[in-house]
Amino acid sequence: MPQSLTVTAVSAPVRDKAFDLIATLVDSLAAAEVRLQDGDVLAISSKYASIASGRTVSLTEIEPGERAQALAKRYQMDAAVAQLVLDEAEHIFGGIELGFLLTAKGGVISPNAGLDRSNIPSGQVVLLPLKPFAAAERIRQALQSRLRCRIGVILSDSWLMPGRYGTTGIAIAVAGFQPIRDERGKADLFGNPMAVTQIGLADSLAACAQVVMGERNEATPFALIRGAEVELSDAALSAADVSIPWRHCIYVESLTLGLVPAPAR
């Protein structure tokens, strides 16, 4: 019988200051009459988790340095935002003159180190969660203890696919299940061995969740994913479990060190 996957958005109160995320989660699930079962995956907006832990900053409190001011001038961006990107990003690749820098942070390549100015009072910025994999694990353990079930947790966000319009979901962090399904060495429909395919299960589920959670004024920062048949695990996870080394990344390598020389004219 074909596998059935269901994804259900769960509403929660709008927040703009630190709050008790676990209590809010439990109350929101109860209000929605949703009961977690063994094998479920709960997607949680990384922004909502960040707000819960106080990871918000007022731009008026940021003093841009010389480098931030230079970046702001070159890429037509707010100098305070440029300074926050410098503070938060692990690497800056470059940018575009629409106010965005392409950065790497926590194994994710995204604009402006994941800083978010939407769904927060004007002048405020939400930063990505601090140590997101540890945060996801703490949430998983707390929910399992209170609700008596074995689940997986995803801290989800949205990002831009290279060369494509529109945002899609991505797993900033994962806890409780194996985020990659390795198909290498297995046979395809014609018996050919798969050579490189590894399914990004956590990212795929985050994309499903993003469809129902929305990104504007839906106020649904949680999504229950049921039927994914994930491989539950208590193993500690980190960005290294989902992030490919840059030398093997076709986007990073091809667009930096791997440039093909232009033909002579």
* pLDDT tens-digit map of 100-134: 999 999 999 999 999 999 889 999 999 999 999 99
| Beta-strand runs (E) in the chain | 6-10, 41-45, 56-58, 91-96, 100-105, 108-111, 124-126, 152-160, 167-175, 180-182, 198-200, 222-226
Helix axes 132-147, 21-31, angle to 10 degrees: 50
Q: Check pLDDT > 70 for residue 246.
A: yes
Q: Check pLDDT > 80 for residue 263.
A: no
Share of the chain above pLDDT 90, in %: 79
Mean pLDDT of 24-37: 96
The whole-model pTM stands at 0.92
Mean pLDDT of 31-53: 96
Q: Model confidence over 139-159: pLDDT tens digits?
A: 999 999 999 999 999 999 998
Q: Check pLDDT > 80 for residue 5.
A: yes
Other C-beta atoms closer than 10 Å to the C-beta of 89 total 19
Please name which of 9, 50, 14, 48 lies closest in space to residue 217, comparing C-alpha atoms.
14
Q: Check pLDDT > 70 for residue 261.
A: no
Other C-beta atoms closer than 10 Å to the C-beta of 74 total 13
Q: What is the predicted pLDDT for the residue at 264?
A: 57
Q: What is the predicted pLDDT for the residue at 262?
A: 60
Q: Check pLDDT > 90 for residue 46.
A: yes
Provide the pLDDT confidence category of residue 194 given band limits of 50, 70 and 90: confident
| Strand 41-45 with 152-160, pairing | parallel
Q: Check pLDDT > 60 for residue 265.
A: no
